[in-house]
Amino acid sequence: MRNIKMTVEYDGARYLGWQRLGDSDKTVQGKIENILSNMTGEEIEIVGSGRTDAGTHAHGQVANFKTESVMTLEAMQEHLNRYLPRDIVVKEVLDVPERFHARYHAISKKYSYYIWNNTVPSAFERNRSFHVADELNYSLMHQASQKFVGRHDFLGFSSLKKSKKSTVRTIESIKIIEHGNLVQFAFVGEGFLY
């Protein structure tokens, strides 16, 4: 039995998120599993390193699956990218040790949020950023963001108002990076909440 690790990039605008939802074919996991199952002739279930919400994009989502297939890694990647929708791309396929698990072996995750900071909105950035026409105070934003770095209970920032699940998370870093009119807020942490 082989354990295959994939690195996946996707534009999530058309999807209900990463995780398969029943018999809906509107998830990234569902799309990939369908292609893998057809390709191998096996019922394939992939494990993602995390779940993204509806409309969320990913540059490097890691996932793994088990298969008896003897296809080469190159043939697998080529097949996946030929039959997946164009907004999902498998960037890398690797054989990994049997015990590798994409979710349990994830060291950290990085989420980026964007602001288009200009008096005029952007047609190209409208689906990937929030438009703010007012001038931003980067010094104050940086100062405020650093209060979230470290281990904290993020219940007040989560949709989980009453839950037995822990809402304590560790944020390793927050960076605010200017790319011209596009401002990136990059959060690195062990995991995140809805």
- 193 vs 118: which has the higher pLDDT: 118
What's the confidence (pLDDT) of residue 25?
76
Tens-digit pLDDT profile for residues 86-127: 999 999 999 999 999 999 898 888 989 999 999 999 999 988
134 has catalytic annotation? no
What's the confidence (pLDDT) of residue 23?
67
| CATH code of domain 109-189 | 3.30.70.660
Tens-digit pLDDT profile for residues 144-178: 999 999 999 888 888 877 667 888 999 999 999 99
> 2-96, what's its fold?
Alpha-Beta Plaits (3.30.70)
Cα–chain-centroid distance for residue 55?
10
pLDDT band, residue 9 (cuts 50/70/90): very high
The reply to whether 2-96 and 109-189 are identical in fold is: yes
pTM equals: 0.82
Domain regions of the chain by residue span? 2-96, 109-189
User: Which listed residue (11, 25, 53, 87) is catalytic?
Assistant: 53
Residue 24 in this model has a pLDDT that exceeds 80: no
